[in-house]
Amino acid sequence: MDEIKERFERLKRKLKRKFNKKQKAKNYNNKKRKPTQSGKTGTKKKRPLQPRERIEETREEPKISSRPREVVGRKPKPVKKNQKKKRITKEEFEKRKKKKRKENIVEIIKFMFPVVLFAVFVFFFILNTSPHMVDGDSMKPTLLNGDRVIVRRTKEPKRYEIITFKPPVKSEFQYVKRIIGMPGDLVWTEGSDLFINHQAESLPKASELSAASELPDGTIKINLSEDSLAQMSQLKKIPKGYYFVLGDNRNNSSDSRTFGLVEGQSIEGVVSLRFAPFNNIGWIK
């Protein structure tokens, strides 16, 4: 403990001496100098030189300015003075525009491709459909030549729906027609005319056949060929599993008026959607 006290006293005395020296030097520098008048020569009294030790003591230690830490691994970007922007020519601008357009098209294709694949999968595998192209004007104005349609193979055909089927005549193509007569509809003939009615429960009397005003409501009158008339004249109802079909363009259509009834097994499906041309996409009724 005594040694610690002695060291503390020594350190205290040393600090006191240093403080007194600094105070004396400060007081000396703050003294005002009085100008002395001399003779004609105008000489001034020379300032007495201070001891070297005192001058050294009065010198203040230089302040160390704190510099910001430099980020390791980052080099400052050289600042280019008077840097001029390059002028883009018309050709370069058009090239950039075309390039950007191509990139946009590629992005759209990338986005649409999986959507199209999914739609194709749904249509052809889940909904059990198939595409067809209309050939001819027999369904005009509903379907035009070259229209591409989707046919649902699993749907049960109903009256006035459009179907595709293999005709009972020699043909490499399938026909597209509209169902007019369904199984169970009443049918009768008069001359070369066929009458179809799905509302009446019994055939009209022979006296009522000649008067159009006496025909039952919902009766359709159709003119038949000789081959079709021979088949239909023997029937009172359309048999189960058979259909009577017509084209919407009656003046330019080969249908049941020519080849008679269509068997249900030869029907492929019901036309439900037109997907081309693009300006005429929509559901078919």
Residue 23: inside a domain: no
What per-residue confidence (pLDDT) applies to 36?
Answer: 47
Instruction: Give the H/E segment covering residue 229.
Output: helix 226-232
Residue 11: inside a domain: no
* Full residue range of the structural domain in which residue 104 is found: 90-126
Catalytic position from the list 81, 138, 207, 225: 138
Q: Domain count of the chain?
A: 1
Structure pTM? 0.57
Residue 136: inside a domain: no
Catalytic position from the list 66, 81, 177, 285: 177
Active site residue 177: yes
**Chain centroid to CA 67: how far?**
55
Q: Per the structure block, which two tokens stand in for 249? A: 């363009």
Pair 154, 261: CB distance under 8 Å = no
Active site residue 138: yes
Tell which residue, 28, 37, 90, 31, has the closest CA to residue 57.
28
Compute the distance between CA of residue 182 and CA of residue 246 in angstroms, rounded to an integer: 12
Residue 105: inside a domain: yes
Compute the distance between CA of residue 65 and CA of residue 10 in angstroms, rounded to an integer: 34
Residue 15: inside a domain: no
Q: Consecutive sets of 10 residues in the chain, 285 residues long: mean pLDDT of each?
A: 77 80 72 49 50 49 52 55 65 85 88 80 69 92 93 88 93 93 93 89 65 72 93 93 95 94 94 90 88
